Amino acid sequence: MKKLTLLTSGIALCVASIAVANDDLVSQMDNSKQWAIQTGDYKNQRYSALDQINAENVGDLQVAWTFSTGVLRGHEGSPLVIGDTMYVHTPFPNIVYALDLANEGRIIWKYEPKQDPDVIPVMCCDTVNRGVAYAEGKIFLHQADTKVVALDAKTGDVVWEAQNGDASIGETNTATVLPVKDKVIVGISGGEFGVRGSVTAYDMNSGEQVWRAYSMGPDSDILMDPEKTTHLGKPVGADSGTNTWEGDQWMIGGGTTWGWYSADLEENLMYYGTGNPSTWNPGQRPGDNRWSMTIMARDIDTGMAKWVYQMTPHDEWDYDGINEMILTEQEIDGQARKLLTHFDRNGLGYTMDRVTGELLVAEKFDPTVNWTTGVDMDPASETYGRPAVVAQYSTEQNGEDVNSTGICPAALGSKDQQPAAYSPKTELMYVPTNHVCMDYEPFRVSYTAGQPYVGATLAMYPAPDSHGGMGNFIAWDNTKGEIKWSIPEQFSVWSGPLATAGDVVFYGTLEGYLKAVNAETGEELYKFKTPSGIIGNVMTYEHGGKQYIGILSGVGGWAGIGLAAGLTNPNDGLGAVGGYAALSDYTALGGQLTVFALPN
């Protein structure tokens, strides 16, 4: 009977590709009692069909058990649950624990890689790691030093290792990996070190490299076909990865790939975004800097790009485009579409046709966003798809050594990597956001391999003339580009929410609260303060007939760095110290998993 339900749901979604897909992981993800992939599923919906915990009873939630990870740093990502085993990862040194859920969480095995600690300081913004992945009896760990390791899920023994990058030139990793079909697809960090971003596919069984696609460079490096790869419906043309750069600047061009990846097996495409161009001083790198700040759709088997869309040509604010691409099937104007929705650091929520790359919606998901008046949506226009930049907030137009003030959002974006969730029941996206603005002064810097390559001074502060907080948790209608409701938060919301069939949405806060809200209204139904600030993502699983909610605590990341001491408002003038809440007044370093359930 269970098999039948799986099949019927499978038919609707991807019957054509089931035979060639990674059957094991697909069936593991289809079993909603498990949490088999960091993103919930290939669509990155972060939605669970479990409904034992629902809007009626979530107020009774209790802590069921806890686990200390033994590491005091920013804890991003979440545990996985496959069968009776939970897999918990940590920030550097990237320990992996396998816990036996059938035996009160006893540790089955522990894997601790040996990594040169010299990688720590080249990880801009904390030593976070967004978790392990599972497929075909293996656990995949992508370490800080860019070594990709496949572990035997039963024993923790190393099956294969592959070195993806070189930490001595600033190449590091914070992201999880995408296991899809017979490949493991991985990204790279280091945009602040002049790293040239790439995604690389490794053979799932041998660890051999299959393909690598750079974000910029010659066509053979970026795996684009000048005629067949399209940008907003038009061929990208020859040399698109070099002809918007001056000289050989593309070689240290940035466009790193540290976000969450999604996949559509039916289209045989994987989706991701590329980060900021190096440096943060736009005057030093004239041109559109393609393909930084770009949504990419690539063939899973060959890496060839089918379509691309550059959201922020010639970045002037560090608005990395790496945030997740959420895949949905919805109607727009009465027509059923296969959609891709992306909440960019630049403050715009994009809805696209994920088959063709057509841009359907581009609207601000925070009303304070002011660097642009909006995106040109007229396909006949010369500037189709480009954001109209407001001169006052253009750090390029204002020039080097000039402090551009009052730019919204700040460099950390209206939303950073913390992934949003989608409920097919409400057809709403639940989005953790930052409500922070900045002053930005670019200046000249020189490049040294393995050294920071930034070139701007930033001051950040809560969005002026608003509620005074630094974050919002919003519900977003991605077909219309409208905010349905918005919950003000004192700090940026740096936690990936979970939406469930129980009509509840869970998310964590930087103070350390796990919160549950009504999926329709946003009404708060439950909260509990965990031992440290939350920058991890909420997950759920069922074991022994009981539904559990799991969340990692452990403040850190960009949030821990930028907000620990609180922010100042330059408009308040001198001496207005402590005008805004300091995160260090609410929470301290930690590293703990907290698991919740309803009372017996």
Cis check for the bond before 497: say yes or no (omega within 30 of 0).
no
Smallest distance, Å, CB 88 to another protein? 18
Per-position DSSP letters for 336-381, written without gaps between them: EEEEEEEE-TTSEEEEEETTT--EEEEEESSTT--SEEEE---TTS
Interacting positions 499-538 with another protein (CB under 8 A): 533
Three-class DSSP category at 570 = helix
- Using CB under 8 A, count the residues that bind another protein: 54
Q: What are the beta bridge partners of residue 485?
A: 475
Q: Say whether residue 562 binds another protein (CB under 8 A).
A: yes
Smallest distance, Å, CB 410 to another protein? 11
174 assigned binding-site residue? yes
Smallest distance, Å, CB 582 to another protein? 8
Nearer to another protein, 335 or 446 (CB): 446
Smallest distance, Å, CB 93 to another protein? 7
Single-letter code of the amino acid located at 311: M
Q: Say whether residue 41 binds another protein (CB under 8 A).
A: no
Closest to 516 measured CA to CA, from 62, 85, 179: 62
Per-position DSSP letters for 254-321, written without gaps between them: B----S--EEETTTTEEEEE--PBS-S-GGGS-S--TTTTEEEEEETTT--EEEEEESSSS-SS----
Per-position DSSP letters for 183-252, written without gaps between them: EEEE--B-GGGTPBPEEEEEETTT--EEEEEESSSSHHHHT--TTTSEETTEE--TTTTTTTSSTTGGGG
Smallest distance, Å, CB 170 to another protein? 10
Q: Which residues of 113-145 are buried (b: 16+ CB within 10 A; e: fewer)?
A: bebeeebbebbbbbbbbbbbbbbeebbbbbbbb
**Binding range to another protein, per CB under 8 A, among 42-50, 67-75, 161-169, 332-340:** 67-75
Closest to 324 measured CA to CA, from 290, 349, 288: 349
Closest to 560 measured CA to CA, from 507, 494, 514, 497: 494
472 assigned binding-site residue? no
Asked if 241 and 250 touch (Cβ cutoff 8 Å), the reply is yes
Q: Is 366 a catalytic residue?
A: no
Catalytic residue among 182, 264, 318, 366: 318
Interacting positions 166-195 with another protein (CB under 8 A): 192
Binding test (CB under 8 A) with another protein, winner from 106, 302, 576, 585: 576
CA-to-CA distance for 297 and 199, rounded, in angstroms?
12
Nearer to another protein, 32 or 129 (CB): 129
Smallest distance, Å, CB 412 to another protein? 11
Mask for 263-302, x = binds another protein (CB under 8 A) = -----------------x----------------------
Binding test (CB under 8 A) with another protein, winner from 179, 191, 255, 560: 560
Nearer to another protein, 120 or 538 (CB): 120
130 assigned binding-site residue? yes
276 assigned binding-site residue? yes
Asked if 113 and 94 touch (Cβ cutoff 8 Å), the reply is yes
**Binding range to another protein, per CB under 8 A, among 176-184, 468-476, 490-498, 564-572:** 564-572
Q: What are the beta bridge partners of residue 492?
A: none
Helix, strand, coil shares of the chain, percent, nearest 5, are 10, 35, 50
Interacting positions 207-246 with another protein (CB under 8 A): none
Smallest distance, Å, CB 279 to another protein? 9
Smallest distance, Å, CB 578 to another protein? 9
Nearer to another protein, 261 or 280 (CB): 280
Per-position DSSP letters for 4-48, written without gaps between them: HHHHHHHHHHHGGGTTTS-HHHHHHHH-TTSB-STTSSTT---EE
Q: Strand 305-310 and strand 230-231: pairing?
A: parallel
Q: Say whether residue 384 binds another protein (CB under 8 A).
A: no
Interacting positions 434-463 with another protein (CB under 8 A): 439, 441, 443-446, 448, 451-460
Binding test (CB under 8 A) with another protein, winner from 180, 407, 589, 598: 589
Interacting positions 93-122 with another protein (CB under 8 A): 93, 117-118, 120-122
Residue reference for tokens 């602040």: 192
**Binding range to another protein, per CB under 8 A, among 157-165, 320-328, 364-372, 581-589:** 581-589
CA-to-CA distance for 23 and 595, rounded, in angstroms?
29
Residue reference for tokens 């996949």: 263
Radius of gyration of the CA atoms of the chain, in A: 22
CA-to-CA distance for 113 and 382, rounded, in angstroms?
52
Q: Say whether residue 130 binds another protein (CB under 8 A).
A: no
Mask for 75-94, x = binds another protein (CB under 8 A) = -----------------xx-
- DSSP character at residue 532: S
Q: Say whether residue 567 binds another protein (CB under 8 A).
A: yes
Nearer to another protein, 88 or 270 (CB): 88
Q: 587: which 2 tokens?
A: 């929470």
Nearer to another protein, 94 or 294 (CB): 94
354 assigned binding-site residue? no
Asked if 552 and 536 touch (Cβ cutoff 8 Å), the reply is yes
Nearer to another protein, 175 or 555 (CB): 555
73 assigned binding-site residue? no
Binding-site positions for pyrroloquinoline quinone: 76, 130, 174, 256
Task: Please report, as ranges, the residues that interact with another protein according to CB under 8 A.
Answer: 71-74, 92-93, 117-118, 120-122, 124-127, 192, 280, 403, 439, 441, 443-446, 448, 451-460, 533, 555-556, 560-562, 564-565, 567-570, 574-577, 583-584, 589
Binding-site sequence positions: 76, 130, 174, 192, 256, 276, 318
Which residues belong to the annotated binding site for Ca(2+)?
192, 276, 318
Q: Tell me which residues are annotated as active site.
A: 318
